[in-house]
Structure 1
Amino acid sequence: MKNSLGLHETLDIHEILSFKNICLTKSATMSHFAQDTALKNLLALDAHQTKEDIQQLTNFLSQQ
């Protein structure tokens, strides 16, 4: 059994990466406009988790 991704799987991962990058941009941008501390913390947590997700997907693609 081979350990490589098919073309459609690679494209799906690139699509997910694009979506995650948009989410990160939005969370980072909106955190500057938020005035509520709880909302700012939530957006910061989301941005941190999204960065980890992007790194994990990028590492996965580079191993293929």
Structure 2
Amino acid sequence: MVNQSTLAAHESLELHEALNFKTLCVLKSKMMQGLVFDQELKALMQKDVEQSMQAIADLQSVYAKAPFQAPVPKRPTPIIN
């Protein structure tokens, strides 16, 4: 088996999509926790957040092998006009 130090372009894009998806999962679970009153469901959502954060960390370590990377902005630029 050949050990490559970088990912192929299509692998990098798929990994980027997975990172975006997991980030949205964290956002949704965190936001919905404030609307949920059932403690069991809240605990389940918190577990999902923790597992998703771990998955993001794991994916980010693999993403470091991508041949191209753009810096992640600190916050979105507001759209004016």
The two structures share one fold, judged by TM-score above 0.5: yes
Which residue, 26, 30, 36 being the options, matches 2:32? Answer: 30
Structure 2 residues not aligned, in runs of 5+: 66-81
Partner residue of 2:49? 47
TM-score, normalised by the number of residues in structure 2: 0.74
Query: Take 2:45 and 2:3, find their aligned partners in 1: how far apart are those partners?
Result: 40
Structure 1 runs of 4+ aligned residues shifted over 6 Å read none
Aligned-residue CA RMSD in angstroms?
Answer: 0.9
Give aligned-pair identity as a percent: 33
Larger Rg: 2
How many positions carry a matched residue from both structures?
A: 63
Structure 1 residues not aligned, in runs of 5+: none
The structure that is helix-richer by fraction is: 1
Deviation, 1:49, is 0.2
